[in-house]
Structure 1
Amino acid sequence: MLNTFKPLQSPEQGDIVFALNQWYIAGFSWELDHAAPLARTLLNKPIVLFRTPDGRAAALEDRCCHRSLPLSFGTIEARGLRCGYHGLLFGADGACLEIPGQDKVPGKCRVPAHTLVEKDRILWIWFGDADHSTPLQDPPDYPWHADPRYEFRGDVYHYEAPYQLIHDNLLDLSHLGYVHLRTIGGDPSTHMQAEMKVESAGNSVRVVRHMRESKPPATYAAAWPFADRIDRWQEIEFEVSHLRIWTGAVDANTESLDDPARGGFHMRGLHGVTPETDSTTHYFWTMSTNRRPDGGSNMDQVFEQTALTFEEDKIVIEAQYHNQQRFGAGPQIDIHVDVGANRARRIIAGLTKAPTISLSSTR
């Protein structure tokens, strides 16, 4: 069916309104384990991230209030971050603590600070509206990074594409059979005909897909000693700023795919989709996986295979966005696998009070 989708054009900076009063992922703990500040633009805002010598993670506007040099050009000291131009020293709260050669520090000499919380090896940053600069709730939990049954590793990718195209991709895993043939894909028809259930609650969407009696894809067969055919699951949980995707498989007809304690091969993915600008995105991801039945680790292999699949997705999404820019606005059709992505887009549209650009106006 035709719909009212209009591909995103090349927007002017700041045209797109992002959902506020949310925790977004700004990075990972290990990115601040170096003795240098980290510059990162998030939701069109230049931010400098750093860790003080006492271990505190902090986030400030990346601009000195004296002559506007990025503070990310500075150096980290015991009390905070020192500007690399004239040496003004700023604490983790943004207050200027010292002006070299000047005894008095004006009270207005400070830079905006952002609430940054380090939790489960994730750096969560709060972006609130004018009435909610203080967080309304704690950052989300992600227990799999500390679960002794799992090992995990992660990375950061940069996309030359708007963030909601990444949401669309992650909420529709039917593409695995076509885009990821060498790794986690498998038979394309199996993916397109998977049993699928989509649920919505508040600002979240949950998509559950089951593929029974299927052939193990290359990544699964290499990572786990399956006997033959497998019953495979994909459980996708969408939140405004991130997605949690639990995929895996058991030997066919051995366990219920509805049992939360089922065994087999597990891959639990964290996908932090944080807008950089209107048309570029930071993609923060980790993959947690369980050990083989003999106790051996498959982390290296799973990480490498996962990274390969995300690189393949990146190529597709950036090419998709380029083509949307090239061809301009025009009708597109909706098919059965788009339900989850459509609901997520309507949630974002409602939170931003922006016209919906969902894939479909009818689902």
Structure 2
Amino acid sequence: MFIRNTWYVAAWSHEVTDEALFSRTIIGTPVLLYRGSDGHVVALQDRCCHRGAPLSIGRREGDCVRCLYHGLKFDASGVCVEAPAQARIPPQAKVASYPVVERHRWIWIWMGDPALADPATIPDTHWVDDPAWRCLPGYIHYDVNYLLICDNLLDFSHLPFVHPGTLGGPESYASVQPKVERIEGGVRVTRWTMDIKAPPFAAAVKHWPGNVDRWNIYDFTIPGVLLMDSGMAPTGTGAREGARVDAAEFRSCQALTPETETSTHYFFAQPHNFAIDRPEVTRSVHDAIVEAFDEDRAIITAQQRNLSLDPDFKMMAFGIDSALSQFRWTVNQRLEAERAQQAEIKAAEPASGAAQ
């Protein structure tokens, strides 16, 4: 079961080109993405209404798409406008279309009620294309349920153990209890670790004479979007009080989009605002992040495999689980609300039909 009335990241902008048809499954639904003649992204259900063949293996004809199974042609709104050897086209011959917004190099899609799709609620990821910051686009495919990845991102005490050579730092990092606050649609996590050795990925691109004070402050909101202010500065220079002297600052933007119940799309970028005229620094940061996220994928995939062997296994809660427990509660509340809304709509349908 997935939340429908929310914005999901469907793709990086560069993945959807001017001429090609691009397909990606989102919350169990195959979606076709392509650009119209004006450059705007079109999103249609990637399943012909006739026999269910994928439109993405069809053919572009102007702003329309022709299914290459039996030749039905659909316009950018999903309406069938041509059927070979059939002059009259049934009015119900159409495929679903979805609201899309392209912003800061990400293409966002709304899979629920189009009337509720408010672009103002799209998370702010402007660091991804802000000229004062630098980053490279990242994508990883997971063969696990997206909530297990959410759990991982909501508990950074795993960093020294899963990522000792990349993001981790000393094991003392894990002993710090973060501050967890409830916010609209999710949680805010604040973790300060004072007077520690800089993690390897940062030490590789910036030198400090001694230890650093490190911070990770992030919002994690439905459906699985992490926006983080993180970094480190020389110990005792006042970073916790707001002075970021000789700091390495990052504005991580990450988004989880469920593909199916057991697979997930993971979009990410790690913008930094230092050494922005040195592309090798951006590449080094990006490569370290990719390496670390591959480490995450390895442990979470092993976890998923283990859990699947015993569906009745109950995970034991520890104090470090506060953020992930609160986020899962928020997800369940939203799912319950959507289920109740759908039940009301279905209950009203017979009465509506009787009134006619």
TM-score tier after normalising by the smaller chain length = 0.7 to 0.9
**Cα offset, 1:82, TM superposition:** 2.1
Which residue identity lines up with residue 288 of structure 1 in the other structure? P
* Alignment partner of 1:160 out of 125, 136, 143: 143
Q: Which TM-score applies when normalising by structure 1? A: 0.86
**Aligned residues of 2:218 and 2:229 also touching (Cα < 8 A):** yes
Gaps of 5+ in 2: 338-356
* Alignment partner of 1:199 out of 181, 185, 192: 181
SS of the aligned residue for 2:164 comes to coil
Say which structure, 1 or 2, has more relative contact order (CA 8 Å, 6+ apart). 1
Q: Which has the higher helix share?
A: 2
**Structure-2 separation of matches of 1:220 and 1:180:** 13
**Structure-1 separation of matches of 2:336 and 2:241:** 36
**Aligned residues of 2:13 and 2:102 also touching (Cα < 8 A):** yes
Structure 2 CA distance for partners of 1:331 and 1:65, relative to 1, 3 Å: closer
What residue in structure 1 maps to residue 37 of structure 2?
Answer: 53
Instruction: Out of 284-293 and 107-116, give the one that drifted further.
Output: 284-293
**Cα offset, 1:341, TM superposition:** 0.6
**Aligned residues of 2:58 and 2:67 also touching (Cα < 8 A):** yes
**Aligned residues of 1:52 and 1:76 also touching (Cα < 8 A):** no
Structure 2 CA distance for partners of 1:119 and 1:308, relative to 1, 3 Å: same
* Alignment partner of 1:267 out of 230, 239, 250: 250
Instruction: Out of 201-210 and 30-39, give the one that drifted further.
Output: 30-39
Which residue identity lines up with residue 62 of structure 2 in the other structure? A
Which residue identity lines up with residue 54 of structure 2 in the other structure? P
What residue in structure 2 maps to residue 126 of structure 1?
Answer: 110
**Cα offset, 1:185, TM superposition:** 0.7
**Aligned residues of 2:143 and 2:263 also touching (Cα < 8 A):** yes
Which residue identity lines up with residue 108 of structure 2 in the other structure? W
Deviations 1:132-186 (A, max 9, x none): 6441453222111232221121222221111111110001111010001111111
Deviations 1:73-126 (A, max 9, x none): 112232222222233322221122333565554433221101111111111111
**Structure-1 separation of matches of 2:90 and 2:97:** 17
**Aligned residues of 2:32 and 2:43 also touching (Cα < 8 A):** yes
* Alignment partner of 2:289 out of 283, 306, 320: 306
**Structure-1 separation of matches of 2:51 and 2:45:** 14
Matched, 1:63 2:13: no
Matched positions, count:
334
**Cα offset, 1:25, TM superposition:** 1.0
**Aligned residues of 2:201 and 2:288 also touching (Cα < 8 A):** yes
* Alignment partner of 1:240 out of 215, 218, 222: 222
What residue in structure 2 maps to residue 12 of structure 1?
Answer: none
Which residue identity lines up with residue 92 of structure 1 in the other structure? A
**Structure-2 separation of matches of 1:343 and 1:43:** 22
SS of the aligned residue for 1:153 comes to coil
**Structure-2 separation of matches of 1:66 and 1:320:** 41
SS of the aligned residue for 1:228 comes to coil
**Structure-2 separation of matches of 1:262 and 1:345:** 37
Identity level (%): 34
SS of the aligned residue for 2:69 comes to coil
**Cα offset, 1:262, TM superposition:** 6.5
Structure 2 CA distance for partners of 1:230 and 1:348, relative to 1, 3 Å: same
**Cα offset, 1:34, TM superposition:** 5.7
Instruction: Out of 159-168 and 252-261, give the one that drifted further.
Output: 252-261
**Structure-1 separation of matches of 2:61 and 2:329:** 45
**Aligned residues of 1:27 and 1:123 also touching (Cα < 8 A):** yes
Matched, 1:221 2:210: no
**Cα offset, 1:191, TM superposition:** 1.6
Which residue identity lines up with residue 221 of structure 2 in the other structure? E
- The CA RMSD measured in Å over matched residues stands at 2.1
Deviations 1:231-278 (A, max 9, x none): 111112111121112221111111322528776112222221111111
**Structure-2 separation of matches of 1:65 and 1:349:** 32
Matched, 1:327 2:310: yes
* Alignment partner of 1:39 out of 10, 15, 23: 23
